[in-house]
């Protein structure tokens, strides 16, 4: 989940209030999970998630998933609920990753990993041909940071995608073409407010 909204300020020493995301479908359908809205973080809205998972529904069961800039983990959690084989969540924020780990424990989920790391640095550190290959990638970086193109390129350089992987990318609408690798075909595109979200297929 990218950090799209302005930060919500604390009042005195009072901590930020919790917020909740709802799993839409699958084994955890209707479950509400707490997350801490650090730095304006919010989950991808239900309506957008529902559209995305309608697009990819046949690809989710058994898929190895990578949730980059995972934030609350809404996308990876939704995939796990719908019988994805595994999910790896990457986010830099320690509070966010701790809460995501708590939620996975609450759900008794044993096929997920949460890694606190800078996404670009983590991708750059992967060893080509020695890493797991992912079937589904969710990418929702902070806006206006120029992160989409380098992350997509690193996924290719490090050979981290399966032959026909699907890659979901969320960006600010004014960005236009996010600059994905030449071998990726855009399958779907839609706008929701100031957000544009796209689904790509990697031509293996």
Q: How confident is the model at residue 40 (pLDDT cuts 50, 70, 90)?
A: low
Helix (H, G, I), strand (E, B) or coil at 124: helix
Residues 104-132: tens digit of each pLDDT: 999 999 999 999 999 999 999 999 888 88
What distance in Å separates the CA atoms of residue 92 and residue 118, rounded to the nearest whole number?
5
**Residue 101: which residues within 8 A CB-CB, separation 6 or more?**
114
pLDDT in tens, 43-58: 678 899 999 999 999 9
The residue whose two tokens read 């996975």 is 104
| Domains observed in the chain | 19-202 (3.40.50.150)
| pLDDT tens-digit readout, 132-186 | 899 999 999 988 899 999 999 999 999 999 999 999 999 988 888 888 999 999 9
pLDDT of residue 21 exceeding 50: yes
How distant is the alpha carbon of residue 18 from its chain centre?
20
- Other beta carbons within 10 Å of 49: 21
């Amino acid at each position: 989940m990218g950090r799209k909204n302005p930060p919500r300020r604390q009042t005195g020493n009072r901590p930020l209030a919790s917020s909740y995301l709802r799993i839409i479908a699958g084994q955890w359908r209707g479950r509400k999970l707490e997350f801490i809205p650090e730095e304006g973080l919010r989950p991808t809205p239900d309506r957008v998630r529902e559209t995305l998972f309608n697009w990819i529904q046949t690809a989710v069961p058994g898929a190895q998933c990578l949730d980059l800039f995972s934030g609350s983990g809404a996308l990876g959690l939704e995939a796990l609920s719908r019988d994805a084989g595994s999910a790896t969540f990457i986010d830099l924020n320690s509070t966010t990753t701790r809460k995501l780990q708590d939620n996975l424990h609450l759900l008794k989920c044993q096929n997920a990993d949460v890694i606190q790391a800078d996404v670009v640095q983590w991708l750059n550190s992967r060893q080509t041909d020695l890493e797991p290959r992912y079937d589904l990638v969710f990418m929702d970086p902070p806006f206006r940071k120029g992160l989409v193109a380098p992350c997509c390129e690193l996924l290719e350089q490090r050979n981290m995608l399966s032959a026909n992987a699907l890659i979901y990318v969320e960006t600010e609408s004014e960005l236009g073409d996010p600059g994905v690798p030449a071998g990726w075909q855009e399958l779907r595109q839609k706008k929701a407010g100031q957000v544009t979200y796209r689904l790509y297929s990697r031509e293996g």
